[in-house]
Amino acid sequence: AGLGEFRIRDLNDEINKLLREKGHWEFRIKELGGPDYARIGPKMLDHEGKEVPGNRGYKYFGAAKDLPGVRELFEKEPLPPPRKTRAELMKYIDAEYYGYRDEDDGILEPLEQEYEKKVIAEAVEKWKMEREARLARGEEEEEEEVNIYAVNDDESDEEGGKEKEGEGQQKFIAHVPVPSQQEIEEALVRRKKMELLQKYASETLMAQSEEAKTLLGL
C-alpha cells in the first residue's frame, strides 16, 4: 500500500498482462496435444485476484482492491425493494383511483361550468355571424320546426282514433286469457296428485277412486 496509487495501478496492469499471456500459452499447449494446464495446473495468483462485477477478465490484487474508485466497485449493491403482489396493489384501488371523486374537491366542477358557458357563447356567436353573412348575401333563411311527436299522414284512421281515445297513453290488450296466480297453483296441485297416483296406486285403486268421486259428485 505504501508504493503509491500510480505504482500500484501499473503493477496490477502488469500482473493482468502476464496472466493473459499465461492463458494463451496454456491454450496453445493444449492445441498441440499437450496437457490442459488451465484445468489441472496450479492457479497461483488467480485465487488472490478479484474481478469487478460486470468486467470479466481483469482482476485486482492486494492493495489495488483498496484504491479510490475501485473499493466502491466491490461494494454490494442494496437489494431492490420487494415487489408488491397484485392483491396488495388492488387493496389501495378505490373509486378515487378511477376518477369518480374528482368533483368532491369543489374545484373541478366550477371550472367545467365556466368552460361550458364559454363554449356555448362562442357557438352562439359563430351561429349569429354565419346567419348575418347569409342574410347579407340575400339568402333566405328557412327554419322549420319539426315535431317529432307528430303523426304521419299515412297512418290509418283506426290508429288515430285509438290515440285520441287514450289521450296519448299507450294501452296494452291481451289477446289470450291469462290465468291468475290461484288458478296456476291449483293446476300444479292437480298435476302433482296425478303423478303420485300414477306412481304408487294400482289400476284397481285408481278405478275405485274414480268411482268414489263419481258417487260424491266431485
Q: What are phi and psi of 130, to 5 degrees?
A: -65, -35
Residue 74 neighbours by CB under 8 Å, 6+ apart? 50, 52, 65
pLDDT at 17 over 60: yes
Instruction: With a cut of 90, say whether residue 121 has pLDDT above it.
Output: yes
| pLDDT beyond 50 at 205 | yes
pTM: 0.32
C-alpha torsion sign, points 190, 192, 198, 201: negative
Position 144 pLDDT exceeds 50: no
Q: Which of 7-11, 18-22, 153-157 has the lowest mean pLDDT?
A: 153-157
Residues of the chain with pLDDT > 70, as a percent, come to 70
pLDDT exceeds cutoff 50 at 143 = no
Contacting residues for 35 by C-beta, under 8 A, at least 6 apart = 29, 41
pLDDT at 32: 93
- How high is the pLDDT of residue 218? 66
pLDDT score for 110: 85
Most confident of 51-55, 107-111, 169-173: 107-111
Amino acid 147: pLDDT: 55
Q: Are 38 and 27 in contact (CB under 8 A)?
A: yes
pLDDT at 125: 92
